[in-house]
Amino acid sequence: MAVDLSSEIAGLKLRSPLLLSSGILGLDWRLMKRALDSGAAAVVTKSLTLAPRRGFPNPTLVEIGCGLLNAMGIPNPGVREFIPEIERLKGIGATVIVSVAGESPGDYAEAAKLAEGAGADAIEANVSCPHVGGVAEIGQDPEALGEVVAELRDALRVPLIVKLSPNVADIAKMARVAEEAGADAISAINTVKGMAIDIYARRPILSAGVGGLSGPAIKPIALRCVYEVRRAVGLPIIGCGGIVDWADAVEFLMAGANALGIGSAIYYRDLSVFREILGGMERFIEENGYGGVRDLIGLAHRA
């Protein structure tokens, strides 16, 4: 019997649960198209702000063995400049989730409305970038989070996904705040706050000092976050953080994720990682007598 790999997030039909995570392949629609051609069901764009941002000076990305540490500072041309890229992606029939960031509820709502007007299928609110002042604070303060989510919900017709930070004492509480304020889905997690020091230069390697850790090092943290969010809210979840192979993907589904973001794995491997994960998941589903991806979602909660 054919394995059904399809899934769904807040009404968005996905041919597989795999998405390209935000910020991973830059800002060019052709790069994002390559992820789709490689097996991603949808792309999440780099986070876009209302005004252009230069980001931090180099170094902004360092490989540290167990993961990647980055503090890019959300460099982007501003959402208006990015509209042609959204339109090109929509022109090839892509499902496009536009990530937005800002420093106030009004910033988020205005950027998101422009993206929606350009054809975005959903908006992902990045309230969780650990090294950008303003954005990080929103994701750590329940009141500020509730205000941003409520303003976005009021401004939008398309589904609203809220990307949560692991850098909080209680992610379940933040998920409940997002749900009560009108979020349609949760994305978990953004990067974990971290640091690396150059012992010869006697200073932090990243120009911003502190950055966000991603890749294999954060997988157990991300998995625990998805599990806790699943228990706390009824919303669909995009699980991401350290997924590099099909077994990781199955773990996240069993923890309660409905879809999966692939990020740093593309740095470690290449875009073939999408097909490898899909192939392995398909074999696992078949060999263990499940019908499809949907049968795996949340299974670990029944144990």
Ligand X SMILES: Cc1cc2nc3c(=O)[nH]c(=O)nc-3n(C[C@H](O)[C@H](O)[C@H](O)COP(=O)(O)O)c2cc1C
Site track 264-293 with ligand X (rule: CB under 6 A), x = hit = xx----------------------------
Q: Which is nearer to ligand X, 174 or 292 (CB)?
A: 174
CB of 299 to ligand X, least distance (A): 22
105 lies in the binding site for ligand X (CB under 6 A): no
Distance (Å, rounded) from C-alpha 303 to C-alpha 299? Answer: 7
68 lies in the binding site for ligand X (CB under 6 A): yes
21 lies in the binding site for ligand X (CB under 6 A): yes
On whether the CB atoms of residues 57 and 294 are closer than 8 A, the answer is no
Tell me, by CB under 6 A, how many residues bind ligand X: 27
Q: Which is nearer to ligand X, 167 or 214 (CB)?
A: 214
Distance (Å, rounded) from C-alpha 108 to C-alpha 124? Answer: 10
Distance (Å, rounded) from C-alpha 168 to C-alpha 172? Answer: 10
129-158 positions binding ligand X, by CB under 6 A = 129
243 lies in the binding site for ligand X (CB under 6 A): yes
218 lies in the binding site for ligand X (CB under 6 A): yes
Distance (Å, rounded) from C-alpha 138 to C-alpha 174? Answer: 11
| Among the residue ranges 171-179, 234-242, 251-259, 289-297, the one whose residues contact ligand X (CB under 6 A) | 234-242
CB of 20 to ligand X, least distance (A): 9
End-to-end CA distance of the chain: 27
49 lies in the binding site for ligand X (CB under 6 A): no
Catalytic residue list contains 129? yes
Q: Which of 146, 256, 263, 292 binds ligand X (CB under 6 A)?
A: 263
95 lies in the binding site for ligand X (CB under 6 A): no
| Among the residue ranges 51-59, 114-122, 235-243, 287-295, the one whose residues contact ligand X (CB under 6 A) | 235-243
Rg (C-alpha) for the chain, rounded Å, is: 18
Interface residues with ligand X (CB under 6 A) are 21-24, 46-47, 61, 68, 70, 72, 74, 99, 126, 129, 163, 190-191, 214-215, 218, 240-243, 263-265
Active site positions, annotated: 129
